[in-house]
Amino acid sequence: MNPDSTDQYADIIHLPRPVSHTHPPMSMEDRAAQFSPFAALTGHDAAIAEAARLTDQRPILDEYTKWHISDTLQLAAENPQLTLHIVYFVPDTRKTGGSYAEACGCVKKLIPHRQLLILNNGQQICINDIVELTCHG
């Protein structure tokens, strides 16, 4: 900042701020909203979340995650009352990559030789596409 810039406003710098006689003072909440940097994006949260779920390539899982998924599936197949929360990869049919989807349900059938999981609601998920799996009792 130029040191001479304060000299330019020396005649008014110590004056009280102007107060409007026609408009009431703005509340602190309204002032804060006026300066909120992302207020323009309100309502676009779902679109942003969906864009974050898209991916350019199929995820590659480490061995620990693969074992965890396998063990959890076996446990859920033996205990049909357990509810699974599944995040899985859905390949794009037109280009490489795809998106992630979520499903919840109990295991109706597990077909290991076809790498297929069938939930109690009839939804079929390829076991190789599962990227995250949690079990709730």
CATH code at position 111: 2.30.30
Phi then psi for residue 117, to 5 deg, are -115, 130
Q: Are residues 27 and 11 in the same domain?
A: yes
Q: Are residues 72 and 114 in the same domain?
A: yes
Q: Are residues 73 and 130 in the same domain?
A: yes
Residues contacting residue 26 through CB under 8 Å, at least 6 positions apart: 34
105 Rama sector, left if φ>0, alpha if ψ -120 to 50, beta otherwise: left
- Among 35, 52, 69, the domain boundary falls at 52
Tens of pLDDT, residue by residue over 36-73, are 555 455 555 555 455 556 677 778 888 999 999 999 99
Q: Are residues 114 and 93 in the same domain?
A: yes
pTM of the predicted protein model:
0.60
- Residue 95 is part of which domain span? 56-136
Q: Are residues 75 and 119 in the same domain?
A: yes
Q: Are residues 63 and 47 in the same domain?
A: no
pLDDT score for 84:
94
Cα separation, 70 vs 86, in Å, equals 13
- H-helix segments, the chain: 5-8, 28-34, 45-52, 63-78
pLDDT score for 131:
92
Closest CA to 88 of 46, 127, 137: 127
Tens of pLDDT, residue by residue over 29-40, are 777 666 655 545
CA atoms within 13 A on the CB side of 79: 12
Q: Are residues 48 and 10 in the same domain?
A: yes
Q: Are residues 130 and 107 in the same domain?
A: yes
Q: What is the number of structural domains in the chain?
A: 2
Q: Are residues 82 and 105 in the same domain?
A: yes
Q: Are residues 33 and 74 in the same domain?
A: no
Tens of pLDDT, residue by residue over 107-137, are 999 998 999 999 999 999 999 999 999 988 7
Block residue for tokens 């991916």: 55
- Among 52, 69, 85, the domain boundary falls at 52
